[in-house]
Amino acid sequence: MLKEVYYPSEALSKNATIKSMDEYRALAEEASRDYEGFWAKYAKEKIDWFAPFTRVLNEDNAPFYKWFEGGKLNVAHQCVGRHIATKKNKAAIIFEGDNGDQRIITYRELWYEINRAANMFKNQFGIQKGDRVVLYMPMISEAAISMLACAKIGAIHSVVFGGFSAEALRDRIIDAEAKLVITADGAFRKGSPYMLKPVVDKALEHGCECVKAVCIVERNGEDIEWIAGRDYAYNELIKNESNVCEDEMMDSEDPLFLLYTSGSTGKPKGVQHSTAGYILWAQMTMEWVFDIKDNDTYWCTADVGWITGHTYIVYGPLAAGATTVMFEGVPTFPDAGRCWRMVEEYQINQFYTAPTAIRLLHKMGADEPKKYDLSSLRILGTVGEPIDPPAWKWYYEEIGGSKCSIVDTYWQTETGGHMISPLPGATPIKPACATFPLPGIITEVIDEEGNPTPIGEKGFMCVTKPWPSMIRTIWGDPDRFVKSYFGDCKKDGKPVYFTGDGAMIDEDGYVTITGRTDDVINVSGHRMGTAEVEAAVKKHSHVAAVAVVGKPHPIKGEGIFAYIVLKETIKDTTAEEMDIAQDINKIIKEEIGAIAVCDSIVIVPDLPKTRSGKIMRRILRSIAKGEAITQDTSTLEDPSIVKKIEDIVNSDDI
Q: Which is nearer to ligand WTA, 329 or 500 (CB)?
A: 500
Find the shortest distance in angstroms from Cβ 130 to ligand WTA.
25
- Rule CB under 6 A: which of 374-393 touch ligand WTA? 383-386
How many Å apart are CA 372 and CA 349, to the nearest integer?
A: 14
Cα–Cα distance between 68 and 63 in angstroms, integer?
16
CA distance 465 to 219: 44
Cα 526–Cα 532–Cα 533 angle in degrees, nearest 5: 80
User: How many residues of this chain interact with ligand WTA, rule: CB under 6 A?
Assistant: 22
How many other CB atoms are there within 10 angstroms of residue 502's CB atom? 18
**Cα–Cα distance for residue pair 253/276, rounded to 1 Å:** 7
Distance from C-alpha of 209 to C-alpha of 125, rounded to nearest angstrom: 15
Beta bridge partners of 57: 67
Least distance to ligand WTA from the beta carbon of 564, Å?
26
Q: Would you give the binding string for ligand WTA spanning residues 412-431, x where CB under 6 A is met?
A: xx------------------
Binding test (CB under 6 A) with ligand WTA, winner from 306, 392, 394, 563: 306
Name the residue number minimizing CB distance to ligand WTA: 413
Contact 301, 327 (CB under 8 A): yes
DSSP-based three-state secondary structure for 336: coil
Q: How far apart are CA 220 and CA 329, in angstroms?
A: 13
Select from 79-87, 336-344, 406-414, 646-654 the region that touches ligand WTA (CB under 6 A). 406-414
Of 5-13, 104-112, 303-311, 475-483, which part binds ligand WTA (CB under 6 A)?
Answer: 303-311
Q: Among residues 97 and 500, whose Cβ is nearest to ligand WTA?
A: 500
Q: How far is the CB of 389 from ligand WTA (least distance, A)?
A: 13
For residue 501, the minimal CB distance to ligand WTA (Å) is 5
Q: How far is the CB of 11 from ligand WTA (least distance, A)?
A: 25
Stretch that binds ligand WTA, among 402-410, 484-492, 537-545, 567-575 (CB under 6 A): 402-410
C-alpha separations of 60 from 481, 603, 627 in Å: 17, 52, 48
3-state helix, strand, coil in the chain (%, to 5): 35, 25, 40
Backbone angles phi, psi at 407, to 5 degrees: -100, 110
Asked whether the CA dihedral 564, 569, 571, 576 is positive or negative, the reply is negative
Bridge partners of residue 626, in order along the sequence: none
Per-residue binding string, ligand WTA, 476-515, x by CB under 6 A, is -----------------------xxx-----------x--
Label residue 104 left, alpha or beta by phi (over 0 means left) and psi (-120 to 50 means alpha): beta
Stretch that binds ligand WTA, among 190-198, 337-345, 404-412, 546-554 (CB under 6 A): 404-412
92, 307, 536, 596: residue in contact with ligand WTA (rule CB under 6 A): 307
- CB closer to ligand WTA, 420 vs 607: 420
Q: Determine, following the binding rule CB under 6 A, whether residue 434 of this chain makes contact with ligand WTA.
A: yes
Asked whether position 522 contacts ligand WTA by CB under 6 A, the answer is: yes
User: What is the end-to-end Cα distance of the chain in Å, rounded?
Assistant: 28
Q: Which stretch binds ligand WTA (CB under 6 A): 367-375, 410-418, 442-450, 470-478?
A: 410-418
Closest to 445 in 3D by CA, of 466, 463, 459: 459
Q: Please say which residue, 446 or 581, places its beta carbon nearer to ligand WTA.
A: 446
Nearer CB in complex with ligand WTA: 143/603? 143
Does 56 bind ligand WTA (CB under 6 A)? Our answer is no
What lies within 8 Å, CB to CB, of 566 at 6+ separation is: 542, 543, 544, 573, 580, 603
In the set 410, 485, 497, 510, which binds ligand WTA (CB under 6 A)?
A: 410
CB-nearer residue toward ligand WTA: 276 or 406: 406
What's the min distance (Å) between Cβ of 314 and ligand WTA?
A: 14
CB of 516 to ligand WTA, least distance (A): 5
CB atoms under 10 Å from CB of 423, counted, come to 27
Q: Is the dihedral of CA 292, 294, 300, 303 positive or negative?
A: positive
- Which 551-610 positions form the footprint of ligand WTA (CB under 6 A)? none
**261 interacts with ligand WTA by CB under 6 A:** yes
- Chain residues 524-543 in contact with ligand WTA, contact rule CB under 6 A: 527
With b for 16 or more beta-carbon neighbours within 10 A and e for fewer, the 293-312 pattern comes to beebbbbbbbbbbbbbbbbb
Q: Give the orientation angle of helix 35-46 with respect to helix 21-33, to 10 degrees.
A: 110
Q: Which residues pair with 220 in a beta bridge?
A: none
- The conformation of residue 187, written as its DSSP 8-state character, comes to E
Considering the complex, state which of residue 385 and residue 534 has its C-beta at the smaller distance from ligand WTA.
385
Nearer to ligand WTA, 81 or 550 (CB): 550
Residues that bind ligand WTA (CB under 6 A): 261, 306-308, 383-386, 408-413, 434, 499-501, 513, 516, 522, 527
